[in-house]
Amino acid sequence: MLEGARVTMAIRAASLIAVIGAILLGGPWAAGPADAAPPQTRTPDDFPVARDVRLGGDENETRFVVDFSQKIDIRAFTLANPYRVVIDMPQVTFQLPPKAGEKGRGLIKAFRFGLVMQGGSRIVLDLARPARVEKALVLDPVNEQPARLVLDLAAVDRDVFMRMIALDNRAPETTSVRRPDLDAKPGDTRPLVVIDPGHGGIDNGTRAASGETEKALVLDLSLLVRDRIGKAGKYRVIMTRTDDSFVALAERVNLARGQQASLLLSVHADALARGEGDAQGATIYTLSETPSDAAAARLAEAENRADVVAGLDLSAEPNDVADILFDLARRETKTFSVQFARTLMGELRNATRLHKDPLKSAGFRVLKAPDVPSVLVELGYVSNKQDIKLLTSEPWRARTADAIAQAIDTFFSTRLAGARRN
């Protein structure tokens, strides 16, 4: 055992909701100097800075150390399927070496870090095998040493790991947070469009060789689309995120359902790993139980991993695709989804390159609202040289945002005309 320390902090599974609850209830993250500026006016320089990270040890005992500019409060807990350790902390600015987290050591396969919501950051360690957190604390700065987060892991077998989780878990809080700015105004009957930029915060999505992240590219384009639809005044628009925060997949779906949206458009960018060949162009996806091809199945699996990447506990998530497909409401939803996908393809054709097979379907979790027509667009491949050039070009972004806004308008005009005929 590393330094023979006993674990004293609570290890518990927590959903994002529980995390949000902890903040609202004045958890450790809420603490801060009384004269601190409100979070929205703070710049990255105002937050504690994580400057360096080190790993030590072997497959039985591994130590994870992060240097911070000041002492912070942390909370660590473990998750199964896959085995992970999640470390929650107040919002920090990560200034770690560029490749930090890509390779691990000992019990830690890899790790990621980032914002999980405004005010809260998170580090997620992917474990090579089940392990127990022996110690998780932040040491005061001493002499030349900065404040240090020290997390010690010791290997355990799966039975012990699962027992540990069962014993330590309490029922998660179910505090739900309503974002007041997202509420529809009463009496406003214009169709509501939800624009959903994929990923965010700790979840980067795919990454180009040149460093651009999917989360940033798709947020940028989504904001342009929002401005274009909003300006016309015919539709109400809400976004699932407008900044670099993480939003769970279910939360995106629930937002669209809760607001009785008429359309959800999820915006992403794909990538092929090195050695998997090259592909290019935009692809438009709708929901189906059976994927249209192997590439669509691979992509849905990758996109559905967002919550795992961000360190969410999915053990309580119902696996409800099959049931939903029997829902009668869904048949109409599916028809509208496919109709919008076709319209979007027609408009995008004029603005950008399409994939050779541009209309596909698979089991994307973000498309599973049974009562909201939902479509996911992969704008292109960040792994393709020409695509990434387009994705990062101003004129391309402008005309692609125009095309998407036009597709939304055409979709509703056709729908409304159809409704009047009936």
Which parts of this chain interact with Zn ion (CB under 5 A)?
198, 205, 268, 303
Shortest spacing between CB 368 and Zn ion, in angstroms: 16
Shortest spacing between CB 214 and Zn ion, in angstroms: 5
Cβ closest to Zn ion, residue 268 vs residue 355: 268
Q: How many helices (H) and strands (E) does the chain have?
A: 10, 15
CA torsion through residues 320, 176, 301, 195, sign: positive
Cβ closest to Zn ion, residue 165 vs residue 249: 249
Shortest spacing between CB 272 and Zn ion, in angstroms: 13
Dist. CA 216–CA 109, nearest whole Å: 26
Shortest spacing between CB 143 and Zn ion, in angstroms: 45
Copy the structure tokens of residue 191.
């169709």
Does residue 340 contact residue 333 with C-beta atoms inside 8 Å? no
Cβ closest to Zn ion, residue 92 vs residue 382: 382
Of 377, 402, 383, 369, which is closest to residue 218 (Cα–Cα)?
377
Dist. CA 225–CA 275, nearest whole Å: 34
N-to-C CA span, the chain: 73
Of 110, 142, 132, 134, which is closest to residue 123 (Cα–Cα)?
110
Rounded to 5°, angle at Cα 56 from 54 and 57: 165
Cis check: omega of the bond before 291, within 30 degrees of 0: no
Shortest spacing between CB 302 and Zn ion, in angstroms: 7
Does residue 347 contact residue 407 with C-beta atoms inside 8 Å? yes
Does residue 260 contact residue 370 with C-beta atoms inside 8 Å? no
The residue nearest Zn ion at its CB is 268
Cβ closest to Zn ion, residue 80 vs residue 225: 225
Cβ closest to Zn ion, residue 85 vs residue 382: 382
Cβ closest to Zn ion, residue 63 vs residue 199: 199
Shortest spacing between CB 268 and Zn ion, in angstroms: 3
Cβ closest to Zn ion, residue 16 vs residue 309: 309
The DSSP bridge partners found for residue 114 are 122
Shortest spacing between CB 299 and Zn ion, in angstroms: 8
Shortest spacing between CB 335 and Zn ion, in angstroms: 25
- CA 198 vs. chain centroid, Å, equals 6
- CA 363 vs. chain centroid, Å, equals 17
Does residue 66 contact residue 150 with C-beta atoms inside 8 Å? no
Cβ closest to Zn ion, residue 124 vs residue 136: 124
